[in-house]
A and B are shown apart, each in its own frame.
Chain A
Amino acid sequence: MADIRLEGVGHSYDGGTTWALKPMTWTWRTSRAYALLGPSGCGKTTLLNIISGLITPTAGRIFFDDRDVTDVPTAGRNIAQVFQFPVLYEEMSVYDNLAFPLRNRKYPKAEIDQRVRQVSRLLGLDHLLRRRSRRLDPGRQQIVSLGRGLVRSQVAAVLLDEPLTVVDPALKWTLRSKLKEIHRDTGHTLIYVTHDQTEALTFADEVVVLNEGAIVQAGEPAELFLSPSHEFVGHFIGSPGMNMVPAEIVGDVVRVGQADVGSVADGLPPGPVRIGVRPEFVSFTRASPGVAARVTGVDRMGAYDLVHTQVGEHPVIARTTAGSGYRPDAEAFLHFPPDRTFLFRDQVRCGFLAPLDGRSAT
């Protein structure tokens, strides 16, 4: 087990014209469970393959603790990786599949048997050990692949590339909690790639959000939710994502249209800005003051309602208690709570909304 340090690591598939992964410096600390979250094609798999050595990065160096492994081939890195779709040695039994990585590394027979049985018990494969792996259904095959990734006790990290895509939803929850359990027991460094925010937020100690080949934010699940530092994180995490409304800083007051919504604490220069606030934190009243909005629709979600409104041209969604009773075309006045509302310029957070305290732009 080791810290995995990337120094200026970037990768280009077309000789440097476009970066699939922009050069980045980042450390995966040992024994933590990471989720690597991002939309399809953002470079998640590329990053994973660079760590495991399946791809040699175009730029940068990779260190496991202080050992430079940039030119070390996959087999020499002691990394386990599980792929999105089941990859099995089809003519082998489930047992032999699980034992394969250990046999290749010449583990003693007794230890192989003990490890295989341990993993199979954890993943509920005990009754299938003698079956030929190709005869299993895809979900079970993927669990065997997962087992092959977990069978080695001494690995620098276990990389999981959307490993539960083909597993059916009911089993998904069980397996995810199994993985957490295994992580707690073994203390492996886990890097779990997913584009599913629920999966990322429930699984990880730390979530790393990747977009267009760059890390836009990393932090604990709550931090990403409550305090996104980039518009993308605001959109991508949360369901529905963060509301973004254009506003303007006039003096030290932030205005949306004609309404003053708060003041600026950080001495930001005046000019256009975008304010971001999660639907969970938008509150509204039926009468002034507040930002005037028109209700366009209500989604009843069971436990809560999502009220869709429009501020000028811009949609704003607010989450309210169930049975809020808002009707389309009703008028409403929105309030953005100061400590939960952030200001963004060029997609990056530049400050937060402070209370108005009697100030006004005029």
Chain B
Amino acid sequence: MTAGSQVSGEVVTTAPAEPQETRADLKRKDNRAWWLVLPVVVSVAFTAIIPLMTVVNFSVQDVFSPSDRVFVGLDWFYEAVRRPENREAFVRTLLFSAQVLLVEIPLGVAIAVAMPRRGFWVSAALVLVALPLLIPWNVVGTIWQIFARADIGLGGWTINNVLGIGFNYTLDSTDAWITILVMDVWHWTPLVALLAYAGLRSIPEPYFQAAQIDGASGWATFRHIQLPRLRGVLTIAILLRFMDSFMIYTEPFVVTGGGPGNATSFLSILLSKMAVGQFDVGPAGAFSLIYFLIVQVLCYVFFTVLTRSGR
């Protein structure tokens, strides 16, 4: 240990000599930088803003043919809000999203907590859990469309013939709803589990050691150490799962096509029928703008509530 070793030397005080810059110089430099932003502006305009404006344009007109159109003001918006079919689909979609969140978030967290923290089984568990995420949406739909069938599907057949419960998603609304919900849980709970797992892994070891020292039970450790530190990732998980489930299209389209009746006609299915099936671009435009707005507002509410409660 050398105490008080003295450092002596000159202090360098000469600042690098730079010519004084005028305001005009600075201004010119600033403006040139805008060219760097231009590519982004152009591509965003081309892929997002202009198409969106097209939708806005459609939503205020009654279009009979490209050359024959009438300005109708906000009529389509009023109609979209008033139509009972739309209202039912809205409630249905909201109910579906709520169920998805209620099942997938706790289940995903439970899986993450149960996953091993170290050793060989970490990779095995990760691969196993991530598997459903690697399958394309329409393939997931096809898999479940066949799996749940009462005649040739393993799942449907087992429920009917082994468990002895009548199950047919092409005829029964409840069965169809359950099929779609279980499919979504199977497909997307892994996302929640992986996010939660990443969150859990980031908790420093001393927190768990302190919990042991303080005699905390397993539940108390989860409640007071793990859960509070999952807030960030769970906020993301809830937002992602809400948006995705609220806009779910491909899977129910493949499995039930919105049926039986209207049992699984979510907003997106209704919308695509309107826009692509019947080519009612005016009402569809108004409808999709409202749809877009609802998603934005609900996401904002979720985000605000979740981040506020953390403070």
Interface residues of A (CB under 8 A from B): 49, 52-54, 73-75, 79-81, 83-85, 87, 89-92, 100-101, 104-105, 145, 148-149, 235, 238-241, 297, 299-301, 306
Contact = CB atoms under 8 A, between A and B. Distances in A.
B208 to A, nearest CB: 9
Contacts of B3: 239-240, 299, 301, 306
Contact of A91 (B5, B210, B220, B228): B228
B225 A80 contact: no
Contacts of B214: 100-101, 104, 148
B206 A83 contact: yes
Contacts of B207: 87
A301 B215 contact: no
A312 B1 CA distance: 20
B60 to A, nearest CB: 49
Contacts of B206: 83-85, 87
Contacts of B213: 52, 54, 74-75, 79-81, 101, 149
Interface residues of B, number: 21
B4 interface: yes
A81 B216 CA distance: 14
28 contacts: A54-B212, A74-B209, A74-B213, A75-B215, A79-B213, A83-B206, A83-B210, A85-B206, A87-B206, A87-B207, A90-B229, A91-B224, A92-B224, A100-B214, A101-B215, A104-B216, A104-B217, A148-B214, A238-B1, A239-B1, A240-B1, A240-B3, A241-B1, A297-B6, A299-B3, A299-B6, A301-B3, A306-B4
B54 interface: no
Interface string B1-19: 1111110000000000000
Contacts of B215: 75, 101, 104-105
- Give me the 3 closest cross-chain CB pairs, A-B, nearest first: A74-B212, A299-B4, A104-B215
B209 A54 contact: yes
Given A83-B206, A104-B220, A240-B1, 19 more contacts: A53-B212, A81-B209, A81-B210, A81-B213, A83-B209, A87-B210, A90-B228, A91-B228, A100-B224, A101-B215, A145-B210, A148-B210, A148-B214, A239-B1, A239-B3, A299-B3, A299-B4, A299-B6, A301-B3
Interface of B: 1-6, 206-207, 209-210, 212-217, 220, 224-225, 228-229
B139 to A, nearest CB: 42
B118 to A, nearest CB: 13
A52 B2 CA distance: 36
Which of B210, B214, B224 has the most chain A CB atoms closer than 10 A to its own CB? Answer: B214
Nearest to B6: A299
A73 B212 contact: yes
A52 B208 CA distance: 13
Contacts of A149: 213
Given A91-B224, A100-B214, A240 B209 contact: no
A90 B220 CA distance: 13
B49 to A, nearest CB: 41
A47 to B, nearest CB: 15
B5 A75 contact: no
A276 B221 CA distance: 52
Contacts of B1: 235, 238-241
B172 to A, nearest CB: 45
A148 to B, nearest CB: 7
A344 B197 CA distance: 55
B155 to A, nearest CB: 41
B305 to A, nearest CB: 16
A75 B212 contact: yes
A89 B5 contact: no
Contacts of A297: 6
A235 B2 CA distance: 11
A299 B224 contact: no
A176 B310 CA distance: 34
Contact of B224 (A52, A89, A148): A89
A240 B2 contact: yes
A105 B2 CA distance: 49
A89 B222 CA distance: 11
A100 B216 contact: yes
Contacts of A100: 214, 216, 224
Nearest to A308: B2
Contacts of A240: 1-3
A7 to B, nearest CB: 23
A114 B1 CA distance: 47
Nearest to B215: A104
Contacts of A238: 1
Contacts of A241: 1
Contacts of B220: 104
Contacts of A301: 3-4
A249 B4 CA distance: 34
A297 B4 CA distance: 11
